[in-house]
Amino acid sequence: MSQKKNAPLRFNIGFLLEANLGEKRVYQLDYPSVTLDDVMLRPLQGEVIFSRNSRGIYVEGQLITNITTECSRCLTPISVPITIELNDLYYFPPHTAPEGEYSIPVTALLDLSSLVREMGLLTIPMQPLCKPDCLGFCLECGQNLNEGDCGCQDEIGDPRLVALRGLLN
């Protein structure tokens, strides 16, 4: 496996492009962390299988990782466990790829970075939480209520504030 340290998801698959249709190669991945532009995966473990077919290389895989995102209530950075499923065709030669599809450059370096990043982002739960009972921010003063009570709740009886809360909700 010839992989550069700064491109952990790039594979030289020249041999597979020249192989018979149906030929497969399995790679085990195990990295302490992988950064793909704005996405941090830590650790990244799993398996990818490349299969030669008449249109290029079909990629299947299952990667287990934690992706860095933020709590949907209090915006604290958090790490969420996800499983990234890969099922995609990389066309070869590259000029045969339809618009918007992945292809393998003539250098035969198949780079999974874009696909893994995209699938990772798609796999983040819709409303990740730092903890199940995250209190989020106070709607009036903006304090992170996980860090302590701001006192605004004491005025809960004031009808103007109740109305305001209704609007903000």
Helix (H) / strand (E) element for 57: namely strand 56-70
Q: How many residues bind Zn ion (CB under 5 A)?
A: 10
Q: How many CB atoms lie within 10 A of CB 49?
A: 14
Residues 138-169: b if buried by 16+ CB within 10 A, e if exposed: eeeeeebbbeeeeebeeeeeeeeeeeeeeeee
- The stretch among 1-9, 99-107, 125-133, 154-162 that binds Zn ion (CB under 5 A) is 125-133
If one asks whether residue 152 binds Zn ion (CB under 5 A), the answer comes out as: yes
- The stretch among 12-20, 52-60, 68-76, 157-165 that binds Zn ion (CB under 5 A) is 68-76
Report the chain's C-alpha Rg in angstroms: 23
Near Zn ion by CB under 5 A: residue from 19, 64, 89, 134: 134
If one asks whether residue 145 binds Zn ion (CB under 5 A), the answer comes out as: no
Q: Which residues bind Zn ion (CB under 5 A)?
A: 71, 73-74, 130, 134, 138, 140-141, 150, 152
